[in-house]
Structure 1
């Protein structure tokens, strides 16, 4: 077994985590225990598969065991970990969504702390992990922890451009950022959108703004943006029409309510910064939006005073509270909110 050059390193930079894990996979310098965790499913699961494959943990191998869910028995894991691999260099045990890094698992903590069998590697793949727990600290000390948080829009745009380039249909950085704004930040969904776009554009050899509009599935946030745009411009019929389209698509009423609230919160922040004389660059940084979206946002804020946006946001928070306190169902609360927002515009 390799000496594991990265054992015990506790890191706060997810991008460094990815670079280190890539090198571990490339050099096969595996740790006795790995923890892969974070909200970005696409990257976490991609690295889970790459790591396990590099370790020789292929489907059907007699030296590969996989456990999923909170019912996983720690004693069973230890028994397997202490069993020599059959017809393989290493025994690999993959444990997914155990919940042990959110609650605790003293049995596994003690086992890892005392030292995993030299011929075994344990891989944990979890959505969440509490860094304060002893199990997390033990794995960080004895093995390698890799975090995969949700990526920023800018990071995803760079990744997306690289993926399309590999598929033979390059895209400009501006259009990559636009695609993220249209299709969302779910990297798994974006990967599928890349495949569709590449197939559509393969003959001409590149992806354009118009191709994105023609092929990509628009995310819910984008549809809500258009609906709020119509509200801001006083187009009541269009706004309600877009709203009823969302309802017809069976989108969650509460999710729509949350997105509307978030949108008006963003508008209020932008308007406040505008009133204070801040430029687009500063505003984008403060509200976490790409600069090319400012023109659209400012078209909306231009239709409101600061007080009007505060009132609109209050309507949103009142609607949210009505749902949470059981005064209204999410659908009735959302219907009421849309009527109030559209009627408040002249």
Structure 2
């Protein structure tokens, strides 16, 4: 990322960039910054955007071979093309032969580092991977935003806020905007402000639901599920979050006996470091093999719903009950 920041600062750009990684917020932010830096605002004749798996490589090559119209550069932005997961020999070879006036920006969800496209851009351009940010970086980022608004926050309140948002920067941005609006007349953000704004976060209810499952408190687990349905949360989204939560617990259960510290575990499972203790405590309520079994039951439940064997709300309800068995 430092190389990309330097390019943006100096204006010395490569002819092809690949932006990808597990933090989509940063991919989107830098994709936009790079496109705006390379092109003239409003110049739709020399700036083209392609998206999706149906893009024809030869169409991109033909466009890149076309001289820009009364401009220095032709900028071609390609999003979620799948070119970095399948063979695109002609386009990959073309990355070594780009005209002086053509610039490619690829923004992808997933890539295969063994593929020719990845290797060619790494050789002839710049590859930038955006990873999930550490707790320390997220806190500094939030503090910077709050400082611009003349707001202050204690570390404990900051941790409370992050425990509700997780490390997803897009969600953090959304919740921070709500928090700033809510505390418009205040200089210091307090715990009650965070609770007032973020109290109904779905992830928090999912955490409490799994906690109840671990303690075999069936009434509380089902009440939390019904609360989520009352909040108009689709059963399939609830199932997705429950599955992800149990996958995290399963990973932590495997690592806890392997000498990993909390920082390493947080990095591997994608939760804030200070929250790992809570997740680890939850994981101890289940035997390792039982967690694996529940994850398999989650996958089977999804299959049953998608194939029409069961209605979604009932299927998830039965999963919650069976998880306590």
Q: Classify the TM-score, shorter chain.
A: 0.7 to 0.9
Whether 1:258 aligns to 2:236 is no
Does the Cα contact within 8 Å between 1:257 and 1:316 map onto a contact in 2? no
Between 186-195 and 161-170, report the one with greater CA deviation. 161-170
Structure 1 segments unaligned to the other structure (5+ residues)? 1-17
Matches within 5 A, 1:1-346: 18-113=1-96, 115-216=97-198, 218-232=200-214, 235-248=217-230, 249-252=233-236, 253-259=238-244, 261-262=246-247, 264-265=249-250, 268=253, 284-285=262-263, 287-288=265-266, 290=272, 292-293=274-275, 296=278, 304=285, 309-310=287-288, 313=291, 316-317=294-295, 319-320=297-298, 322-323=300-301, 326=304, 329=310, 331-341=313-323
Two-structure CA RMSD over aligned residues (Å)? 3.2
Report the alpha carbon displacement of residue 83 of structure 1 after superposing the two structures with TM.
2.4
Distance 1:24 1:218, change over 3 A: farther
In 1, the alpha carbon distance for the partners of 2:282 and 2:94 equals 58
In 1, the alpha carbon distance for the partners of 2:118 and 2:183 equals 46
Between 97-106 and 176-185, report the one with greater CA deviation. 176-185
Q: Classify the secondary structure of the residue corresponding to 1:100.
A: coil
Provide the TM-score with structure 2 as the length reference. Answer: 0.81
Aligned residue pairs: how many? 314
In 1, the alpha carbon distance for the partners of 2:58 and 2:93 equals 12
Does the Cα contact within 8 Å between 1:35 and 1:146 map onto a contact in 2? yes
In 1, the alpha carbon distance for the partners of 2:100 and 2:283 equals 62
Q: Could you tell me which residue of structure 2 aligns to residue 11 of structure 1?
A: none
For each residue in 1:256-285, what CA deviation from the matched residue of structure 2 results, as whole angstroms up to 9, or x when unmatched? Answer: 441452365378569x66xx9x9xxx7634
Between 56-65 and 83-92, report the one with greater CA deviation. 56-65
Distance 1:109 1:247, change over 3 A: same
Structure 2 segments unaligned to the other structure (5+ residues)? none
Report the alpha carbon displacement of residue 172 of structure 1 after superposing the two structures with TM.
3.2
Report the alpha carbon displacement of residue 19 of structure 1 after superposing the two structures with TM.
1.8
Report the structure number with the largest CA radius of gyration. 1
Distance 1:22 1:340, change over 3 A: same
